[in-house]
Amino acid sequence: MKYYQKPGVYITGVGQLKVEKTSELSIRQMGASVVKSAMKDAGVEKADAIFLGNMLSGMVSNQEQLAPLVANEAGLKGTEAINIEAACGSGGAALRMGFMAIMSGMCDTVVVCGVEKMSHEDKDFITKSIATASDWEKEGGKGETFVTLNARLMQMYIDKYDVSPDNFAMFGVNAHKNANINPNAMFHKEISVTDYINSKFLTSPIRLFDASPICDGAAAIVLSKYPSASNNSPSIKITASASSTEYIAIGDRSNPLAAEGIQRSGNKAFNMAEITANDVDFFELHDAYSIISTLSLEAMGFAKQGEGWKLAFEEEITPTGKIPVSTFGGLKGRGHPIGASGVYQAVEAYLQLTDRAGANQIKKEANVGLIQSVGGTASTVFTHVLVKEA
C-alpha cells in the first residue's frame, strides 16, 4: 500500500463490538469503545466531527443528543457530534453524512459510528418502538410490526412469482454459516435447510430464520481525506455514496416488489462509481428479512425480478459464489443492532478489501465491495461502493 496524496474519501481504520443479546456496557460506553478502537486502528488522535447513526436511544435509553455524549466519553470533548436517523438505515445515513463532510472540504478526518442498545425487559415495547420506523398512521398505529410488514411483502412475492417459502432457506443458512466463524457475530451456530424449514413461523410466510434478531451492538470507521501512510491500517476508497427514498407505507407504493428506493439509490451509486453489478465482488446487503435480500439482489441488477432467491438457492451468495453476501453473517447472523448495522457493513467490507477478514475472507480477490443500508421496508436506502486501489 503506497501513500498517495490524492484527495477523496478513504476508510483508514475500523472498530466494532461483538453483537450481543445484552451488552454489559451503557450505550455511551458502547459508542465510545468503537470510536476509540477505530481511531486507534487508523492511528489518529483527533477528529473534526463524529456522525452517529442511532434510531432508538431516545425511546429505549431516554437519551437524545447521544453523539456528543459518545464523543465526550471517548475523550473527544468539543468535537462536533451529530445524531443521524433513518430508521434501520441510520448507520448508512451516518456514513453518507461523513462522506459529505469530507467531500465538503470542511473536515479532513471524521468518525462514523453506529450504535444501538435494544435490550429491554419489555419486548412488546421494543417491537412497538421499532414499528415507529413504519408509517405510523397507516401501519404501526394499526398494529403492524416489521415482521407483519415484511410478511406482506414476502407473501406478495410468493404469490406473484409462484415460489415456495422454502426456497428462501439459503439466505439464513449462508448467514449463520458466515456468522459462525465471525468472533463479533451474535450467533455461533450453523443451521441446515432442514432447520430452516422446521423453524417456526413468526408471521407466515416469515420463519424465525428469515428474520434478524433484536440485539446490542456498535461499530465505527474513520474517514479521511487522504489515504493513510500506515501499513497497519491500509486505506480503502469510497467511490460512491448515494441515497433515495420511497413511500414508507407499502400500500402507497405502485409496485412494492420493484423496490424502487433500492433501484434509484443503487443506480445513482453505480453511476457515481462508474461500475455495474458485474464489477462487484461482494455485497453486504440489508438482510433484515430474507425478502429484503431477495428484492435487493433484483433491484441492484444481480438477478432478474422474481429470481433473486435463486442466487441463494444455487449457493451463489456464499463466500465461494458469484456474489457473496452477508460475508460476516449479515444482519441475520452477525446481528442487527438497528442504527449500527450500516456501519458494521462498512467495517466488514473494509476488512474484506484489505484482506483482514480472517476466516470470513471471500475466496475470490476482493477489489470492489458494495454495501447497502435500508430504513423501513426499503423506504430509505443508502448505497456505498468501496474500492481497493492499485
How far is the C-alpha of 83 from the C-alpha of 54, rounded, in Å?
7
- Using the rule CB under 8 A, which residue among 317, 375, 384, 388 binds a copy of itself? 375
| Residue 194 burial (CB count, 10 A) | 10
Show the CA angle centred on residue 204, arms to residues 203 and 209, nearest 5°. Answer: 75
Only segment of 125-133, 144-152, 188-196, 348-356 that touches a copy of itself (CB under 8 A)? 125-133
User: Which range in 83-91, 222-230, 276-284, 353-361 contacts a copy of itself by CB under 8 A?
Assistant: 83-91
Amino acid (1-letter code) at residue 275: I
Nearer to a copy of itself, 64 or 122 (CB): 64
Q: Which residues are catalytic?
A: 88, 336
Measured distance CA(287)–CA(339) in Å, rounded = 14
Q: Rounded to the nearest whole angstrom, what is the least distance from the CB of residue 360 to a copy of itself in the complex? A: 30
User: What is the Cα 113 distance to its own chain's centre?
Assistant: 12
Residue 242-261 contact track with a copy of itself, rule CB under 8 A, x = bound: -xxxxxx---x-------xx
Provide, rounded to whole angstroms, the least separation between the CB of residue 168 and a copy of itself. Answer: 26
Angle at 372 between CA 261 and CA 170, to 5 degrees: 100
Cell numbers 415484511 label which residue?
A: 150
* 231 contributes a contact to a copy of itself by CB under 8 A: no
Closest to a copy of itself by CB, 72 or 167? 72
Phi-psi region of 110 (alpha: psi -120 to 50; beta: other; left: phi over 0): beta
Length of the chain (residues): 390
Determine if 346 is a binding residue for a copy of itself (CB under 8 A). no
Please spell the DSSP secondary structure of 351-366, one letter per residue.
Answer: HHHTT--GGG--SS--
Tell me whether residue 80 or residue 389 sits nearer to a copy of itself (CB atom).
Answer: 80
Under rule CB under 8 A, residue 55 binds a copy of itself: yes
**Number of residues in contact with a copy of itself, rule: CB under 8 A?**
63
| Residues numbered 15-54 forming contacts with a copy of itself, rule: CB under 8 A | 26, 28, 49
Residue closest to 347 by CA, chosen among 78, 4, 115, 191: 115
Q: Please report, as a single letter, which amino acid is at residue 195.
A: D
Residues that bind a copy of itself (CB under 8 A): 26, 28, 49, 55-56, 58-59, 61-65, 67-69, 71-72, 77-87, 93, 96-97, 99-101, 103-106, 128-129, 131-133, 135-137, 140-141, 241, 243-248, 252, 260-261, 264, 375-376, 379-380
